[in-house]
Amino acid sequence: MQYKVAICDDEVSQIKNISNHFAKFSIKTNIEFSIKCYTNSNELLKKYYNERSPFDMIFLDMEMPERSGIETAEEIRRIPDRNVLISFITSYPEYMQDSFDVQASQYLIKPVSYELFEEKLEKMLQYISDLETNIIVLSQKSGETVLHLDDIICIEANKNSSLIITMQNDKIIIKGKLADYEKELADKYFISIHRSCLANMRYIKRFNADSLEFSNGKTVSVSRRRLPEIKDVFSKYMVMRYKR
């Protein structure tokens, strides 16, 4: 398999540095990469406007003129591409907290050493490998539909023994019971926030008194009795995610 990579940085020296790290890693592991380099975010986004999900991973400078790395990542997620792994390259670690909503995969502090690059890249490749099996098959009268779990925001029980599966730009209604999916998705970062809703923790943006908001703006009720437990599970998920 050849992995598709974008490097976007307004400093050519930084692009060369990351490109050289990829070349060294490729020689060492025999893993192939197809790399596209961009010196501004508009050119990178143009690729996205013309081609669906063109990259497996993006190495993105946080501090760029015209459009910052965070703004670029937000646009990529809106397009949407929820699965591409975005790694921010930055000289300012304090900017990391600004990337919560764009689900950043890794952070690399400039100047990026090969040792750090290798460590982070190995984790990203493992994540992509896991993602390939991170799917759910829905059986319907029209046939079978395959969905990536990371594309699902939440699953809600509906009337007449049906379920509403909400994604970034789509909804699917299927026959089934929420309890069946709760068991199946228990180890896939889905959490029961109410007897009628399973939430993908990847998309949780904030908690309110008796509800939570997803990153797409959708709001759902949360069981007040279970709210402390749900927040605790979510906090542990976030710690685990940023240790990757």
44 and 81 belong to one structural domain: yes
The answer on 174 and 98 residing in a single domain is no
CATH number of the domain enclosing 214: 2.40.50.1020
Compute φ and ψ for 227, nearest 5 degrees.
Answer: -55, -45
102: containing domain: 2-131
Count of C-beta atoms within a 10 Å radius of residue 65? 8
What percent of the chain stands above pLDDT 90? 43
pLDDT at 242: 56
Residue 101 has pLDDT above 60, yes or no: no
Provide the pLDDT for residue 106.
Answer: 82
Confidence class for position 140, pLDDT limits 50, 70, 90: low
Stronger pLDDT, 155 or 175, i.e. the higher one = 155
Q: Quick: pLDDT tens for 18-71.
A: 999 999 999 999 999 999 999 999 999 999 998 878 999 999 998 888 888 889
Q: Which of 80, 101, 131 is the last residue of a domain?
A: 131
Examine the domain organization and report whether 21 and 80 are in the same domain: yes
User: In terms of domains, do 173 and 224 share one?
Assistant: yes
Whether residue 150 is found in the same domain as residue 43? no
**Are 43 and 90 contained in the same domain?**
yes
- The reply to whether 88 and 189 lie within a common domain is no
Confidence of residue 169 (pLDDT cuts 50, 70, 90): confident
Return d(Cα 48, Cα 68) in angstroms, integer. 17
What is the rounded average pLDDT of the residues 138-151? Answer: 73
Task: Show which of 98, 131, 164 is a domain's final residue.
Answer: 131
Is 64 found in the same domain as 44? yes
143-148 and 152-158 as β-strands: parallel, antiparallel, unpaired?
unpaired
Last residue of a domain, one of 68, 102, 131: 131
Amino acid at 138: L
Residue spans of alpha helices (H) in 132-226: 178-184
Least confident piece of the model among 14-23, 42-51, 192-201, 235-244: 235-244
- Total tally of structural domains belonging to the chain: 2
Between 32-36, 72-76, 117-121, 148-152, the lowest mean confidence (pLDDT) is in 148-152
- Same domain? For 69 and 124 the reply is yes
Which residues contact residue 208 at a Cβ distance below 8 angstroms, ignoring those fewer than 6 apart?
Answer: 219
Indicate if the pLDDT at residue 186 is higher than 80.
no
> Whole-number mean pLDDT of the chain?
86
pLDDT reported for residue 189: 87
Whether residues 198 and 89 share a domain: the answer is no
Q: Which of 115-119, 134-138, 158-162, 163-167 has the lowest mean pLDDT?
A: 134-138
Answer yes or no: pTM beyond 0.85.
no
89 and 37 belong to one structural domain: yes
Cα-Cα-Cα-Cα dihedral sign, residues 65, 217, 57, 144:
negative
214 and 185 part of one domain: yes
Nearest residue to 117 (alpha-carbon basis) of 59, 167, 62: 59
Give the CATH number for residue 46. Answer: 3.40.50.2300
